[in-house]
């Protein structure tokens, strides 16, 4: 297993990983996590300092963390595949009129939530469109 490549993913998505890191190693402070900012060697030094661990023990804990993250990510990936398949089946099995009725029902049941989701989607689409027109 190439842990260098795996750590590059952690570094690239530090904001997503730092909560899991803070949960696993709760002696790390928010300031520690900000200064580490995905750097594996800074994290190793912080873990050695806060937990008084040898370099070998820290390496082993980081390997275990990467393994658990891989398992977690595979679970997320599988759930996304399952949701996409469910959505595909829904579209294939329902008419446009049925889907429209379902949408109206969800909007009536959750007006604030659906409005916020709509605004978020609109913002994302706007950002994508504006960045594609600049290129």
Q: What is the pLDDT of residues 23-64, one digit of tens each?
A: 999 999 999 999 999 999 999 999 999 999 999 999 999 999
pLDDT at residue 29, rounded to an integer: 95
Which structural domain range is residue 6 located in?
Answer: 1-93
pLDDT at residue 118, rounded to an integer: 94
CB atoms within 10 A of CB 21: 22
Does one domain contain both 20 and 78?
yes
Does one domain contain both 43 and 108?
no
C-alpha span between 40 and 33 (Å, rounded): 11
pTM of the model: 0.56
Does one domain contain both 17 and 27?
yes
Judged against a pLDDT cut of 60, whether residue 1 lies above it is answered with: no
Average pLDDT over residues 79-91: 95
């Amino acid at each position: 297993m190439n842990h260098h490549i795996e750590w590059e993913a952690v570094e690239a998505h530090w904001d997503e990983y730092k909560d899991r890191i803070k949960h696993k190693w709760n002696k790390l402070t928010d300031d520690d996590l900000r200064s580490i900012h995905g750097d594996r060697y800074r994290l190793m030094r912080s873990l050695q300092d806060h937990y008084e661990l040898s370099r070998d023990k820290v390496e082993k804990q980081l390997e275990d963390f990467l393994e658990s993250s891989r398992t977690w990510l595979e679970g997320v990936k599988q759930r996304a595949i399952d949701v996409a398949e469910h959505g595909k089946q829904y579209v294939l099995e329902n008419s446009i009129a049925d889907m429209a009725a379902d949408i109206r029902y969800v909007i009536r049941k959750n007006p604030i939530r659906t409005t916020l989701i709509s605004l978020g989607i609109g913002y994302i689409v706007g950002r994508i469109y504006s960045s594609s027109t600049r290129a």
